[in-house]
Chains A and B, each alone.
Chain A
């Protein structure tokens, strides 16, 4: 569970272009430490020596070739890299969706490598939130049922006040009874974000959450994610290839050929683009 649960009273509207200055401060929230060993609070997620290989023999592909990385709690971090760099694989392993061949992963202070499928499933259910690029929602359930799905799976009663809060923040009040095919792409993604936030997980993982959206709607979703990190202290880790999306984050981690290749502390679309270009050349 997230260490800080204070909420802001006001509900500001989603803002436009990203600002580098943080908004209202709340106690216990850190603004993105840089090096793995720094930072006042323990990292929300950390990985040591992650290795993951796909395929066999000649067709073997080393997606992760020894990754060491920490992600600060309460921060919005982006993972970037050229295609084939292993960023999606890294996220999948960190989120307990896939198992690494070697290495250690700690999430919320608990070692998750070596857990069996049932334990991993419960981990995902109770302590992790997901926002995927597409196909986030179960088509036969309404928006509200989709939002509370992880709690339903756990059999935990829903905190109605918190639900109302989250729904309010995401502006979904009048959409709760609709099925996914009755919602626009942006609305579907917002439902997914609401679902991810509702369980107050240790980490929210996003896999190209704005990949299918137009720029305006994408900006909406990204600022919501940033607000959840800044105002609610929610740890958010997002995989993206889009420099503009990455600029919403507090920190960008760069991957290349299955290894950490650098990081950017105060990302802007320009410096992110420059960093990526350098990667591509090298």
Chain B
């Protein structure tokens, strides 16, 4: 049995190359997911380990301890000025509480972008230097630690030093407040340290200073947070509120306490004593050695491996496609071998032995694929990790492959192949011994699908479709997804019905190619089961990709629409009181600005909650600048007699009062809360506004007390289409300059809208790439089926060559067949995927859309990307036919006809 299997493999290894490749890709995917999981675990352990590695003992809160424990722990350890009870334990030389004080470090003047702490400062964590500096995990690279008692010396991490252009001896500022004009504390850099690998410190600038500095910084932040104490002017409530703030800001939280033992102290005894002391103080903490503590924390932190699960889900899809390819391949292999199998049966092999031989063959191929796949995955992930570790601060990244990862991956490879080939193995047992005696039969012509399968498929399709439609209509994601999945299973089961039919219809287009075209079409559908199986694998891949692309594009369009409805105007600029047309023109002339409208205050209106200022603008400008209004309202924008209102106004009319009287206006409703009421300039003149006389005149006389933030003129801007996220800061600056105001006067949600687009694009790319793996495997399946079918038809092809088919004709025939199958599968998949994606988008965004008055979320079909999918599939089909063509044409007609 095994001998037979091995001999088959050795005799015609080329027939297994494609299926082996498919298995390798699938297993590589799965193994990579598992290895990424293991490696992140190991890396995390390294990183945590690094933090604790220099201490003798670590005291840390228990997993379910809260903020209070951390505060108590900090208190129990105390500071070098005021040691706590933990410090007093015998054998403890130092109990250093790792407490960080957040501050901002002033960025260099030429640095682009916004700061991570304040507008011009970046987030930094300041920790004190323990009395025993050897407890610090990061080595000092150059310089020295701050002198004891100094409140102006710091050690900086070397990456920040390089980025900010600082070195030993440089000065910089630490700001405790976030306001742009907050005062800073001047400090001098006396040393540079390695970048920390503590996961809690990633992204932050690391600063070390003496305790005297941290105390000062706390005082600074307190002063910045609390307003000046007006002499005796605070009520009891205000005082209590201030006291609370003070307490919150001066609280110290310790994530862990690093303990240095006195020389010669017994570690276990001291650990026990520390634990007793902690318990006596009522602290929910544990004392452990650094290794043990790292392990414990690992166990907590790696509870949710969402990333690995997501990767695993995509790997599962890829493996499903691989299974289809395997099943198809082996069924063709068995069909080709029917004479050999018949011979074996005639010679006395039992059914079980035949089945076992095929399964053994599958097992060997699966084992080979599994091992190779794991090897490739190890290589991939190891390279990825090695590259990552070269980045500063990521030295803790390690590659780790647990035996579980390797064994599971290989086992999946073997099991998958064996299970997928089992139907072919069973088919092999059905070969009758008599077939060995009969003259060779023609290549299998057609096999009808079972009625049961068709009925079941139809039922699933109908039920699933119903679920999908209902779920979408009632915005129930769970039902919609389930319905979609069920209907897709139904589609796959019915594939044997409609795929050959569609191929046959599309094949008519090949008529002009003469006999090769006609034969290609006939050959593509002569075995409907096989065609359907081949196409199914590709169908899964293309449907999923098309679904993701449609869903993603629709999501983008939909979110854009919703954003627009919420924020019809890209940017708003508050001008100075005398600002007017000159500023507007300058701003409108800027490169990144498409349109600008000048709004001048002209009156007031009564809305819920009091009076609000009403503005006037030129109708044409207004129409250029406001987007996203509901259909029906947008057309009326700027017409005389109308007023544009925010969503707080729902009535059909609004009375506006100007310097010379009131008038009722018809409202143009919007869904936005960010607008102010605006009427046209002509109407404003009727109410007494003199546009030529500068806005200040109009505003001053009509301003009415409370509830109004500003009555200065504004600019509303529409940004150009080419604006991207990284150019936004420049645009802001340019606009502010042109308008003659400070940058704080420029506001708008354009950044959010752009950011969202970037995020969706990024996610889509990743998802598509992951799914593309499945498509690749399916295309390998097409190549495989085609080449095996061509081998099956060797005699027939040779007959045609004898009768006058040229080599080129034969190549064309095979190429057309491949193109037909892969092209049709891609077309059907794209269509299906678009439908699913459309339903999905409606389900997800339906409620949000209804909120802005949109009843149906129509799918935004990504035509170029869909076209690309079909094109790639067709091209791959062509490529797939190259090898079989070469083999077929190299054969002389005589050799081919003599094939047994």
Binding site for B on A (CB under 8 A): 92, 97-98, 117-118, 121-122, 124-126, 130, 132, 134-141, 149-150, 152-155, 180-181, 195, 212
Contact = CB atoms under 8 A, between A and B. Distances in A.
A153 B802 contact: no
Given A139-B796, A140-B445, A149-B515, A121 B892 contact: no
A186 B805 CA distance: 26
B649 to A, nearest CB: 73
A152 B515 contact: yes
A34 B892 CA distance: 33
Interface string B504-521: 000000000011001100
A128 to B, nearest CB: 9
Contact of B804 (A124, A138, A180): A124
Contacts of B800: 138, 149, 153
A153 B522 CA distance: 15
Contact of A130 (B523, B526, B796, B803): B803
A125 B804 contact: yes
B442 A181 contact: yes
10 contacts: A98-B893, A122-B806, A135-B795, A135-B897, A139-B526, A140-B522, A149-B515, A149-B800, A153-B800, A153-B804
Contacts of A139: 442-443, 445, 526, 796
B173 to A, nearest CB: 84
Q: Which of A139, A180, A195 has the most B CB atoms < 10 Å from its CB?
A: A139
Contact of A153 (B440, B514, B807): B514
B799 A136 contact: yes
Nearest to B808: A118
Given A150-B803, A154-B804, A98 B892 contact: yes
A138 B796 contact: yes
Interface string B775-810: 000000000000000000001100111111111110
Interface residues of B, number: 29
Nearest to A121: B806
Nearest to A99: B892
B233 interface: no
B894 interface: yes
Contact of A152 (B514, B522, B807): B514
B439 A97 contact: no
A154 B516 CA distance: 11
Contacts of B803: 124-125, 130, 149-150, 153, 195
Contacts, number: 77
Contacts of A130: 802-803
Q: Which of B522, B795, B799, B809 has the most A CB atoms < 10 Å from its CB?
A: B799
Interface string B235-270: 000000000000000000000000000000000000
Contacts of B522: 140-141
Contact of A97 (B518, B796, B809, B893): B893
B445 A153 contact: no
Interface string B858-900: 0000000000000000000000000000000000111001000
Given A138-B796, A139-B442, A153 B515 contact: yes
Contacts of A154: 804
Interface of B: 439-440, 442-443, 445, 514-515, 518-519, 522-523, 526, 795-796, 799-809, 892-894, 897
A126 B806 CA distance: 12
Q: Which of A118, A124, A153 has the most B CB atoms < 10 Å from its CB?
A: A153
B802 A124 contact: yes
B694 to A, nearest CB: 86
A153 B799 contact: no
A224 to B, nearest CB: 19
A126 to B, nearest CB: 7
Contacts of A132: 799, 897
Interchain residue pairs A-B with the least CB separation, the first 6: A125-B804, A139-B442, A140-B522, A153-B804, A121-B806, A98-B894
B892 A153 contact: no
B399 to A, nearest CB: 52
B892 A97 contact: yes
Contacts of A155: 514
A97 B802 contact: yes
Contact of B807 (A121, A136, A180): A121
A223 to B, nearest CB: 24
A101 B802 CA distance: 20
Contact of A138 (B440, B799, B808): B799
A97 to B, nearest CB: 5
Q: Which of A121, A132, A180 has the most B CB atoms < 10 Å from its CB?
A: A121
Given A92-B894, A180-B442, A181-B442, A140 B804 contact: no
Nearest to A179: B445
A162 to B, nearest CB: 18
A1 to B, nearest CB: 15
B28 to A, nearest CB: 39
A23 to B, nearest CB: 30
Nearest to B514: A155
Contacts of B807: 117-118, 121
Given A130-B803, A135-B799, A153 B526 contact: no
A166 to B, nearest CB: 16
Given A124-B804, A140-B526, A149-B803, 7 more contacts: A117-B806, A124-B802, A140-B445, A140-B523, A141-B522, A153-B803, A180-B442
A92 B894 CA distance: 7
B442 A153 contact: no
Contacts of A117: 806-807
A149 B799 CA distance: 11
A121 B894 CA distance: 13
B520 to A, nearest CB: 11
Contact of B809 (A124, A149, A153, A212): A153
B204 to A, nearest CB: 72
A149 B516 CA distance: 11
A154 B800 CA distance: 12
B440 A121 contact: no
Contacts of B445: 139-140, 181
Nearest to A140: B522
A137 B801 CA distance: 12
Contacts of A141: 522
A114 to B, nearest CB: 16
A264 to B, nearest CB: 27
Nearest to A212: B439
